[in-house]
A and B are shown apart, each in its own frame.
Chain A
Amino acid sequence: MADNVKPRVKVPRSAAAGETIVIKTLISHPMESGQRKDSDGNTIPRSIINRFTCEFNGTMVMDAKLEPAVSTNPFIEFEAVVPEAGEFTFTWYDDDGSVYTDTQSIAIG
């Protein structure tokens, strides 16, 4: 179980209809690769965020599969076209079954 997991997202408050915006996301997470050993020589079990999705008003914007080589506190930045006012939903899936979500609404104007 990963501690101190906290998602953050940065989405502009408003955009023109059809505008391409930049979205930045970050989740604090140790991203333990499963390759490392502790001081007693035992393998530290893998514990990573294995999937990240972004939806806009129920439509999938991006769906990413994350692997053990991704660094701690994964930062994902991408662009999205905003056709109308609505809400972005961001979801992170943890190896331990936890699901973290965050939402941000965006206005047209």
Chain B
Amino acid sequence: MAKLTVTTAIAACALMGGAVAASADENATLIVNGEIEMVTRTAAPDHVPLGEIRSGWTFRTGETQALQMDDFDNPGMIFVDQAIDAWNTVEGSAEKSCASCHEDVETSMEGVRAVYPKWNEDAGELRTLAMQINDCRESQMGAEPYGYTSADMTAMEALISVQSRGMPVNVAIDGPAAPYWEMGKEIYYTRYGQLELSCANCHEDNYDNMIRADHLSQGQINGFPTYRLKNAKLNQVQDRFKGCVRDTRGETFSPGGPEFIALELYVASRGNGLSVEGPSVRN
């Protein structure tokens, strides 16, 4: 299948007189700003029944791919800028900002995104990045929590994600995280909705095929939060899960609920080894 696609792509380029930039190049290398080299294709982790895992970037068209290769062109960076302001804004009864404790975001948040969702020993729960941000806001700042998939939350996740760009996703799935991972795996392979589709039906069995006009990816989440051209904003990963389940014509789980937290861990673990890309650009 992959080989056939490559041949077709080469033929298409030849016909268009080498207009390479306009056609999708699934073997292109993603280098952001000419300096951060991303791993977009690598060997699958042992627990994933795929030969190779691929970033969603490799499934997009040349134009969409190009948008992510320069921070000025990447519309997601607008929201990162907004989050820098939020990082330094004092809020809540404790009169603290994020910077009061964590100081410089570039050093304190380096590598953080790559290991979330992560088991929190003190709280005795598995925490997504969004849950950790809200815990900071409530417990440390005495501020109102952000809505789980709100624009403020998603922008803050993007700011934190930027500090880990290029690092491999490496979420732990053993120890206390194991039961969550098993639950996430169960959800991944369960068919939902009137269309009776599981995550795996599209993203494992049929990735690289077309579902009508859409080129199915492996459903990796290393690029989240993701700027989507279809809605011109950053999208939170659990909001995306919700959209996927909705498309099966099913009742969706709630973003921030236990099912999606478990699913986020499981899906993140399927991308262990791919680079953190957030904020990525997708269609």
Is the Cβ of A4 less than 8 Å from the Cβ of B75? no
Chain B residues with CB under 8 Å of A10's CB are 72
**CB <8 Å contact, A8 and B75:** no
Question: How many residues of chain B are within 8 Å of chain A by beta carbon?
Answer: 7
Chain A residues, Cβ within 8 Å of B73: 24, 75
Q: Quick one: given A24-B72, A24-B73, A26-B72, are A71 and B82 in contact (CB under 8 Å)?
A: no
Question: Which residues of B are found within 8 Å of A72, using beta-carbon distances?
Answer: 232
Decide if B63 is an interface residue (CB 8 Å cutoff). Answer: no
Q: Does A73 contact B (CB under 8 A)?
A: yes
Is the C-beta of A36 less than 8 angstroms from some C-beta in chain B? no
Chain A residue with minimal CB distance to B79?
A28
**CB-CB < 8 A to A75: which residues of B?**
73, 75
Residues in A with CB closer than 8 Å to B72 are 8, 10, 24, 26
A8 to B6 CA separation, bound complex (whole angstroms): 38
Q: What is the 8 Å Cβ interface bit string for chain B, positions 73-109, against chain A (1 contact, 0 not)? A: 1010010011000000000000000000000000000
Q: Which residues of A contact B75 (CB under 8 A)?
A: 73, 75
The majority secondary structure among interface residues of chain B is loop
Are A71 and B232 in contact, CB atoms less than 8 angstroms apart?
yes
Q: Which of B230-255 contact A (CB under 8 A)?
A: 232
Q: How far is the CB of A69 from chain B (nearest CB, A)?
A: 14
Residue A46, interface by CB 8 Å: no
Query: CA separation between A6 and B75, bound complex, in Å?
Result: 13
Contact A6 B81 (CB under 8 A): yes
**How many angstroms between the C-alpha atoms of A24 and B72 in the bound complex?**
8
In the bound complex, CA of A72 to CA of B233 (Å):
10
Q: Which residues of A contact B81 (CB under 8 A)?
A: 6, 28
- Per the bound structure, the CA–CA distance linking A6 and B82 in Å amounts to 9
State in angstroms the CA–CA spacing of A82 and B283 once bound together: 36
Could you tell me the distance between the alpha carbons of A10 and B77 in the complex, rounded to whole angstroms?
A: 14
| Nearest CB in chain B: distance from A28 CB, A | 5
Return chain B residues, CB-CB under 8 Å to A4.
Answer: 82
Q: Which of B39-93 contact A (CB under 8 A)?
A: 72-73, 75, 78, 81-82
Most buried by A among B73, B78, B81, B82: B78
* Cα–Cα, bound, A61→B165 (Å): 37
CA gap between A70 and B202 in the complex, in Å: 35
6 nearest interchain CB pairs? A10-B72, A28-B78, A24-B72, A72-B232, A73-B78, A4-B82
- B binding-site residues for A, Cβ under 8 Å: 72-73, 75, 78, 81-82, 232
A sample of 16 more A-B contacts (CB under 8 A), given A6-B78, A71-B232, A75-B73, is A4-B82, A6-B81, A8-B72, A10-B72, A24-B72, A24-B73, A26-B72, A26-B78, A28-B78, A28-B81, A28-B82, A72-B232, A73-B75, A73-B78, A73-B232, A75-B75
Interface set of A (CB-CB < 8 Å, partner B): 4, 6, 8, 10, 24, 26, 28, 71-73, 75
